[in-house]
Structure 1
């Protein structure tokens, strides 16, 4: 079922949990994410299928939008469909018109005032559709689609004072921050600036979002959740799982040109990787039961 409104995001923030935002590129990744959401439904943690700007380049916007929305609507599990990393107001409007439950407007590359202006307009459009909006402040290094061993720069991290001003000026529902996180896997695990994250949490009255969570040590992830992060984006972890599933299956699939077994292996690997991530996003419940 499609997950509308901000209740799930706010509930996750209040409980010290985080909604997983899993990036989908094709049918098999959408299926794997949906299967993980259904398997994890008992945990009470909704899942977001992130069919966004970068995957649109591969699958086509209309095709991938419909795949994600149909899968979410037909599932018994609560699933949101989220537009990730969009810089284009026309694209945002098209996804809202199609039925997306949330969008991310990414003006992080713009000067502060221009980022505010772009974000305010995206918020205005989303309100007309009952969708919530995530924005980004600070520069996150790396590539969304390929791991490049990126390194975070302290000069590009989110400033807590600016974050407070930004949220007040734009009315966004969630803020993605740069606190040492990077897109993609890195040779050495990224280290989060948890003190900066705590200061941002103090300055900002909305849930925070952590992009680039693939490969983060669990203790770093739990430290972020304890400091206001209520949505966590995962992409590279699913990509690696998909490719590994395909790699292992390819030798047995090749003699009979068995593409179905290949696609199924990739789908199931995505499901298992997503389930593993979901298991790390409710630390307070785990600690309470320990």
Structure 2
């Protein structure tokens, strides 16, 4: 079922667990994400995002994700990730997306606020919720590149940003990176706690692939109610195809290779969802 509105996001925030948000590039990955959520029996977010449109086509990728959500036996949100285009955001809202992320983090603070305000206003008639971003989360969303942490999110600016824009969730930079960190360092959990104390909306952690389980669970306990996973899915998909090729190539069995890839991604998603949906011992009280 398509998960509309902010009820699930707010429930995760209040109860101390997190929505897993998984990026898709193909029909097989889309299927794997929704099937894994049904296996575990928990909500999930399908991120049919801006960076993947150049590969699959926006209309095609969106249609696959929306159909998977509608057919699923658990709530499935369909989310536009890292968009900088109001036109693209409007197109996805028209298609039926349940949430969108506007990425104005590259802009001056005032311009980021203005862009995000326009997206919040555009999303309101659709009942879709909006994620903004403040701070620099380095790395490439689509390719694993060794990188280091970027500019961390300033708590005072984050408080002002949320108050002025009306976003429903805020992506923050606390040492997390897209892809693979050149020299992995622990997340700045003290900064995350400070942000959570000042920002009255759920926080979002991008670049969660490869984080130690204890660190990820600590972040969730501090108010992270949406966690983005991409690299681990791509790694599992390509690794399974590579292993399946010797058996599939003699008979040109494309389906066998893709089936193996889908099952590998499905297992990764199941593992992440188990980590993220463990109910915290002390549920948060939303600000």
Q: TM-score w.r.t. structure 2 length?
A: 0.96
Q: 1:155-174 counterparts in 2 under 5 A?
A: 156-174=151-169
Distance 2:67 2:111 in 1: 35
Pairing partner for 1:204 from 199, 202, 206: 199
Tell me whether 1:81 sits opposite 2:57 in the alignment.
Answer: no
Distance 2:122 2:142 in 1: 28
Match of 2:2 in 1: 2
Contact in 2 for aligned 1:190/1:216 (Cα 8 Å): no
Per-residue deviation, residues 152-184 of structure 1 (Å, max 9, x unmatched): 03xx11000000000000000000000000001
Distance 1:213 1:158 in 2: 17
Match of 2:111 in 1: 114
SS in 2 for 1:3: coil
Distance 1:32 1:210 in 2: 22
SS in 1 for 2:275: coil
Tell me whether 1:254 sits opposite 2:249 in the alignment.
Answer: yes
Q: TM-score w.r.t. structure 1 length?
A: 0.95
Shift in alpha-carbon separation, 1:190–1:243, aligned structure 2, 3 A: farther
Distance 2:50 2:280 in 1: 34
Contact in 1 for aligned 2:155/2:198 (Cα 8 Å): yes
Pairing partner for 1:224 from 200, 219, 223: 219
Shift of 1:283: 3.6
Shift of 1:185: 2.4
Distance 2:204 2:171 in 1: 4
Shift of 1:244: 1.0
Q: 1:139-288 counterparts in 2 under 5 A?
A: 139-153=136-150, 156-284=151-279
Tell me whether 1:105 sits opposite 2:102 in the alignment.
Answer: yes
Contact in 1 for aligned 2:19/2:277 (Cα 8 Å): no
How many equivalent pairs are there? 283
Contact in 1 for aligned 2:79/2:100 (Cα 8 Å): yes
Distance 1:148 1:203 in 2: 33
- Name structure 1 gaps, 5 residues minimum: none
CA RMSD of aligned residues (A): 1.4
Contact in 2 for aligned 1:123/1:172 (Cα 8 Å): yes
Shift of 1:187: 4.8
